[in-house]
Chains A and B, each alone.
Chain A
Amino acid sequence: MGHDTHIHEKSVAQHEFDRRKNAVEMRKQVVNFAIMILFTFIAFAVVVADFSPYFIKPFILLLAAVQVVLQLYAFMHMGEKHASHIGTINTFVWVGAIIAFTVFLCFLTIIWW
């Protein structure tokens, strides 16, 4: 533990570059956010618009799934390659999701009457 941090001063160019990079990234996040808002609107809209439930249900579930993936990979940085141990984390999250999904599916299908 401990002595793994030493102070390292960036060059001006590097510093400027990093700031720009961060800003670009932030703009991307805003776009992601816009997409999420849009999806939410669409989800509410199709329900209000009263389409056939056979269409609406899978459709809004799909929208929800996409939103969640966006959250996970954009806001929560699951896609960032250099974050520490991110591969392992990805594995854990998806295994968790599969288990959650199995429980869900079973409750909705074979084990319920």
Chain B
Amino acid sequence: MDINTKYTPKTWPDHAEQVTLEGKNKFVGIWIFICSDIVLFASVFATYLALKDSGPSGMDITAKELFGLELAFVMTMLLLTSSLTSVYAMYHMKNFNSKGVLIWMGITVLLGLGFLGLEIYEFYEYTVHEGFGFTHSAFSSAFYLLVGTHGLHVIIGLIWITGLIIRNAKRGLNLYNAPKFFAASIYWHFIDVVWVFIFTVVYLMGVLG
């Protein structure tokens, strides 16, 4: 594959991200990685459920009292929307519109940053104002580790996508970077998938008690 080949919208192949062997490898590779991440999150989730509300004798903070829904709702909306914007980016990639890819990826990053900001704010509130720090109890450790692992994925995703944007801002689309954008977008969707479970299991079911 030649990185210098210049494409036009007309010569740009369908499924540009998968026409080269490297592209196929990236595509399959990111999926297998996601499979392993599924089990990773399952383990952390299972631990969270086992340790929910448990702490030293006399612990007074429970999920029911701790969690609010407003913030979780806003965060969910931000992340869901960012999923859609990255689909838009992929749409523009299909049409060989590299500007569109960059812009929509950029919006995705902004939404992701918003999500991350709210998450940090939430952690700050819990730690400082509620006295619910990481070492407070088994429950707090499990909570921060579960949500934090997701947050870490968000951070990695943001760095990755930002890197791609900076790196490819000037060179347009080609068969070398198309798979990279595509893999990053799949990864980003996966982050959203995990969040769907987090808001359901941690926040919604937490509020139910």
A and B touch in the complex (CB under 8 A): yes
What is A's interface to B at a CB cutoff of 8 Å? 1-2, 4-5, 7-10, 12, 15, 18-19, 22, 25-26, 29-30, 33, 36-37, 40, 43-44, 47-48, 53, 56-57, 60-61, 63-64, 67-68, 71-72, 75-77, 82-85, 88-89, 92-93, 95-97, 99-101, 103-104, 107-108, 112
In the A-B complex, the 3 residue pairs with the smallest Cβ-Cβ separation, listed nearest first, are A100-B42, A96-B35, A107-B46
Q: Is the interface of B mostly helix, strand, loop or mixed?
A: helix
Binary CB contact string for chain B from 5 to 19 against chain A (1 if under 8 A, 0 otherwise): 101011101110011
Give the shortest distance, in Å, between B115 (CB) and chain A (any CB).
14
Does A68 lie within 8 Å of B14, measured CB to CB?
no
Q: Which of B127-135, B145-153, B165-173, B187-195 lies on the face that meets chain A? A: B187-195
Residues of A with C-beta under 8 A to B35: 92-93, 95-96
What is B's interface to A at a CB cutoff of 8 Å? 1, 5, 7, 9-11, 13-15, 18-22, 24, 27-28, 31-32, 34-36, 38-39, 41-43, 45-47, 49-50, 69, 73, 76-77, 80, 83-84, 87-88, 91, 94-95, 175, 186, 189-190, 192-193, 196-197, 199-201, 204-205, 207-209
Cα distance, A29 to B76, chains bound together (Å):
18
Give the shortest distance, in Å, between B51 (CB) and chain A (any CB).
10
Does A5 lie within 8 Å of B1, measured CB to CB?
yes
Residues of B with C-beta under 8 A to A53: 208-209
Cα distance, A87 to B130, chains bound together (Å):
48
Residues of B with C-beta under 8 A to A82: 15
Give the shortest distance, in Å, between A71 (CB) and chain B (any CB).
5
| Known contacts A22-B91, A97-B38; A84 and B24 CB within 8 A of each other | yes
- Residue from the list A9, A36, A44, A83 in contact with B10, Cβ < 8 A: A9
Residues of A with C-beta under 8 A to B87: 26, 29, 33, 75
> Which residue of B is nearest A67, CB measured?
B196
Does A60 lie within 8 Å of B31, measured CB to CB?
no
Does B94 lie within 8 Å of A22, measured CB to CB?
yes
Give the shortest distance, in Å, between A80 (CB) and chain B (any CB).
9
Residues of A with C-beta under 8 A to B41: 100
> Which residue of B is nearest A76, CB measured?
B189
Does A56 lie within 8 Å of B208, measured CB to CB?
yes
Residues of B with C-beta under 8 A to A92: 31-32, 35
Cα distance, A103 to B76, chains bound together (Å):
26
Does B69 lie within 8 Å of A48, measured CB to CB?
yes
